[in-house]
Each structure stands twice: as C-alpha cells, then as structure tokens.
Structure 1
Amino acid sequence: MMPRITFAVAIAALALSGSAALAQSEKAGVEKLYVLNCGEGTAGDISRWTPGLNEGKTMDFVDTCYLVKHSKGWFLWDTGIADSVASMPNGLVPADPKAVTWRRPKTLAAQIEQLGLKPDDVKAMAVSHTHPDHTGNVELFPQATLFVQKAEYDWPGANNEPRFKPSHPVELLTGDKDVFGDGSVTILSTPGHTPGHQSLLVKLPKTGAVVLSGDAVHFRDNWDNRRVPSMNVNKDQSAASMQKIADTLANEKAQLWINHDKAQRDSQKMAPEFYD
C-alpha cells in the first residue's frame, strides 16, 4: 500500500505546486493603479487650447500623476507641479495672466508616504513631456530610471539648458516602449504637443485597459473635436497622435483618462484608493 500512498501524496503535491504557480502567474503584471493629485489650477483664458473659440473664458484645470504597482516594482507616471508650490499662499502665479495659476493642495511626497512608500521605492518613472507641470518633482526620485523620448531629451530648454539633471539615470526612447516586457505597461510615442511627447497604456486585471493622455489632449471637448492647441509644436503630429490613441482605445477596448480634465478626475477614485 505504501507505493500508492506515496503516489497519491506526490500527485497532491504536484497539484498544490501547480495551483501555486497558477496563483503566482495570475499576480504577474499590474496589480494597482493609484491616481494622485499633482496640482489644481485656473486658466485665465483657454483660447490657446481651443484656437478660434472661448476667447477670454476661464477654466479650472487639474494636474494628475499616476503610480503603478507592478509585480516587478513601482512605476511613476508624471510628477506634477513642484511640491514647493504647496507653501505658496496664492499658488504659482504666471507672468501671463492667460496661463494657469497652479496650486498644490497635496504634495506628491505626502501622497507617496501615505501609501507606506519612500521615494527610493520607485525604481522607474516616465514623464509625458518636459513642461514644468509634469516634471516638477522628478528629482524627488533621483535613483529612478527615467524613460523619456530622445527627441524630448534633446529639445533645448530655456537658455539651452538641459531639461533634466545630467546625473539622473535615463533610458532614451525612439518610439513605443514595453516597460516591463509583458505588455502590461506600454509607453506610447505621441509627439506633437512637444517633440517627444508620450502617453501611457496600462492594462489592469479588473478595470481593463486605460490610456493616460499626458497632454496629447487637455480636456474632453478638445478630444471630441480633435482640436490642437496653438502652443503645440507640430499640428500634424498632434493630429496623428490623437488618431494613434483612438486606434489604441479601439484595439484594446480601453478608457481614455485625460490628465488635466477636472470633470473626469472629480469622478475618479483618488489615492489611497486604487484601481485594480
């Protein structure tokens, strides 16, 4: 009888190991997506975002960052307005009254800490582009590899200054990038707003696929009408990038989350709540 018992035990052990392997495989990929408040502001005149329309009309904007928990580690998308703005009583007031006055109700550092994390826990990050409302806290994560399009990295800044500290670890991209090699987090090259603008496709196990717009589009009405803001560096590229996003939404049955759209973000779960 002993051989039978041994065989039965072996089969049970094999089944258990198979179940464990299956459970482990089910956990691979993206586990959670956190929506972070990275700024709130008011534009004095939104006609620059809607050429030929809305002259003199004001609009409230939000600024959003996203933290992805992947089975291989933490990945941060965009870093928002600089945390230092939180201490400015009147917010960050622009020289041009038509531009956005930004405020920082919550710092990025505090929201990371609220999740039980330290900045050092973030090993990889990317910014949609190098405008300051997206790069304000890049150096809060000096150890994190920064994924950025080469066209953006080489784009001269003010007074031809570099857009990032030369010491920051960077991986330069020349197109789309599968961040973790499993198709769950993909950087999409979507130039036009800036030379190396990029968006992000995230595939969640329950929520499904989500495309994070960056500034390929600023708010829903612009998306619905395919409007290109006057400050974009290339109108044709902007239109092509919006079409690329539309194709991705169709192919992946994905939702579009628009970074600066206040009405949409007001409807979303904010950290420490999450999407899975």
Structure 2
Amino acid sequence: MKRSSWSVIGALTVTAFIALGSKTAAGQGLPAAVGSPRVYVLNSAEFVGYPRSFLQFGAQGVGGWTPAAFFLIRHPRGNVLVDTGVSDREIDEPGSVWGAGLRQYFGLKKTPDLSIESQLAKARLKPEDIHYVVLTHLHLDHAGNLSKFPTATFIIQNEELKAAWWPDKGFEGAYLHEDIKDTRKFKILRLEGNLDLFGDRSIEVIRAPGHTPGTQLVVARLPRSGMVVFTGDAVYDRDNLEKNALPTPSGAWQATGMLNTYALVRQWRDSGAQVLFSHDGDDFKTYKQAPAYYD
C-alpha cells in the first residue's frame, strides 16, 4: 500500500481501533478522564559536559545542563505519553544499560526523582494509567522504560522498528537491545505515515524521517495554549532550529529530511505554536514544570 493511501485509509482504521481501545480501557478502573487536554513537561535524566558538536556539528566546547525530557498529555479519551526517557535501571545500576563509556561521554546523571514513577506522580498518575505511548524514535534517551507500560498501546513508525532491530552501519550505537527487547510482546500500532489519534486533530503524530528512518513529531492542540509541538530529536534544540544546524553525522540519518522538518517546525512556530524541545536546557527552564501544565 502506498503511503498516501495509508494516510487516508490506514489512519481511519487505526483511529477506529483506538476509539474502541479507549472505551475498553475506561472500564478498567483507570483515573477519571480530564475535561480537556493538558500537557505536562517531565524529565528523565540530565546531561552535563558532553561535546557541543554532538548537537550542532562543528560547534566548539561542551554542552551545559541538558534534560532528557518527555511529555504527558492527559486527554479525555486517554492518557498519552510522548517518549519514555532514559532507562530507570541507570539509577541503581549505573552503566548497566548505557555502559560506562556512554555515561561518561554524555555526562549522564540519573537520580530517583527522575524515574518514570516519580515524574508521573506529579500528574497523580502511575505507569498503568497510561493508555498510549508515542515514541518519537527508539534511541536510548527516548525509549528506555518501555517495559513499564505492558498494558499500553505503543505508536511507532514501522520503519523505526526495523531500524532499531536492524540498524544501518554507523547508526547502531543509539539503539540498545535492553530498551527494545520486549517490543515483540507489546501492542503496537505500526504507522507508515501520519495519524490523527482521536480523529479530532487534538493529538496528531507526524512522520518526519531524518534523525532516524522512523522519526516522528507529535502535535497537541489545547483549548487555551493552542498548538504545542513535541520535536523529540527531529530538532534537538533552539540552536538547531534557528541556525538550520545539523547534528553530528551519526545523528542525521538523512540530512535533507532533518532540514525539511526544521522548516516545517519553523512554519508552525511562526504561526503561533509552542515548540517544546527534548534537549534544550535553557528553554526547558522556561517551560511550565509538572505539576503545572499547559491547557
């Protein structure tokens, strides 16, 4: 099936499936739905002192404090998590998932208050309260902790699943077997294009290959705050967006794809959208922090 056909026909089929799934989940004693969508900004880890050139190729010096952010969307039709951050095993067993070399290179810091449970508790939720997990991609700082959501439905581009299990040469280092080993046991909606999650444009998943073969953006539309864009690693931070700067070659599977995504995000931003980066320390400090939220 061509992608253009999937965008119309497949998305309708998936939306119908999700609507049925929401009805089923609502009968399983999950927290009462909120009246309108809310976005919570969460964090899973901190990076300090990594080479700045990793985010912007050719940049000098080291990066300052940088989060590994992820996001929660509480929606009347189900709780949606955007990414799952760095593996919580790195709290009690440093290096057990990432390895000592990667921890040192990125200056990884992972403390108990940055666990999935601690972060979700800011919104009075537990992992079992999450209905859907949208993975912007399956790299180690965005797809740790997948196994903490055995009852959720995962939404992933099919190309990203293939890339994680059979990565191209030179791009294998950011996919960790420990993170993805249980994906074959999960309920997964394999996308080949865009998805209107609830059929009302309140949450949309937008295919944006570039950083990886199956990178995707997530867009939420809120009653008061308007359009909110979650970039994942499609755009690392504001410098990438403003300067049209590409990351290190290992962070750009398809450079033209990344540049096209930059242009799309700038268009949304210039139209009034709030852009929430996963790895911009300066911007992160200006965001509303959970338990505060955007609505």
Q: Which TM-score applies when normalising by structure 2? A: 0.76
Query: 1:272 is matched with which residue?
Result: 291
Question: Could you list the per-position Cα deviations for residues 170-213 of structure 1 after superposition, in whole angstroms to 9, with x for gaps in the alignment?
Answer: 00111111111110101111111111001111111111111111
Question: What residue identity is the alignment partner of 2:274?
Answer: Q
Q: Please tell me whether residue 118 in structure 1 is matched to residue 136 in structure 2.
A: no
CA distance in 2, matches of 1:154, 1:249: 31
Gaps of 5+ in 1: 1-26
Residues 128-150 of structure 1: per-residue CA shift (max 9 Å, x gap): 11111101111111111110011
Please give the alpha-carbon distance, in whole angstroms, between the structure 2 residues aligned to 1:69 and 1:163. Answer: 28
Q: By how many angstroms is 1:90 displaced?
A: 9.4
Q: 1:238 and 1:195, CA in 2 relative to 1: closer, same or farther beyond 3 A?
A: same
* Offset at residue 215 of structure 1 (A): 0.5
**Residue among 17, 38, 41 paired with 2:44:** 38
Q: Alpha-carbon deviations, 1:41-85, whole Å to 9, x = none?
A: 11421112222221x433321011111111111011011111222
What residue is the counterpart of 2:18 in the other structure? none
SS of the residue aligned with 2:228?
strand
Q: Which residues in structure 2 correspond to 1:165-244 (within 5 Å)? A: 165-230=183-248, 231=250, 232-244=252-264
| CA pair 147-90 structure 1, distance change in 2 beyond 3 A | closer
**Partner Cα distance (1:134, 1:77) in 2:** 9
**Partner Cα distance (2:217, 2:270) in 1:** 16
Distance 1:68 1:218 in 2: 21
Task: Give the deviation of 1:101 after TM superposition.
Answer: 2.2
CA contact (8 A) 2:120 2:127 kept: yes
CA contact (8 A) 1:130 1:163 kept: no
Query: Which runs of no fewer than 5 residues in structure 2 stay unpaired?
Result: 1-32
Alpha carbons of structure 1 residues 113 and 50: separation in structure 2 relative to 1, 3 Å? closer
Alpha-carbon distance, 1:89 to partner? 7.3
Which residue matches 2:145?
137
Higher radius of gyration, 1 or 2: 1
Distance 1:103 1:93, change over 3 A: farther
Q: How far apart are 1:221 and its partner, in Å?
A: 1.3
Q: Tell me the equivalent position of 2:64.
A: 59
Question: Residue 199 of structure 1: SS of its match in structure 2?
Answer: strand
How many residues are aligned here?
248
CA distance change for structure 1 residues 74 and 99 in 2, over 3 Å: closer, same or farther? same
Aligned residues with identical type, % of pairs: 29
More strand by share: 1
Q: In the alignment, residue 238 of structure 1 is paired with which amino acid? A: M
CA distance 1:95–1:217, change in 2 (3 Å): same
- RMSD of aligned C-alpha atoms? 2.6
- Cα distance per residue 1:198-237 (max 9 Å; x no partner): 1111111111111111011112112100111122111111
The structure-2 alpha-carbon separation of the partners of 1:260 and 1:28, relative to structure 1 and needing over 3 Å to count, comes to: same
Task: Provide closer, same or farther for how the CA distance between residues 151 and 100 of structure 1 changes in structure 2, counting only shifts above 3 A.
Answer: farther
Letter in structure 1 aligned against 2:208: T
2: CA distance, partners of 1:128 / 1:267: 22
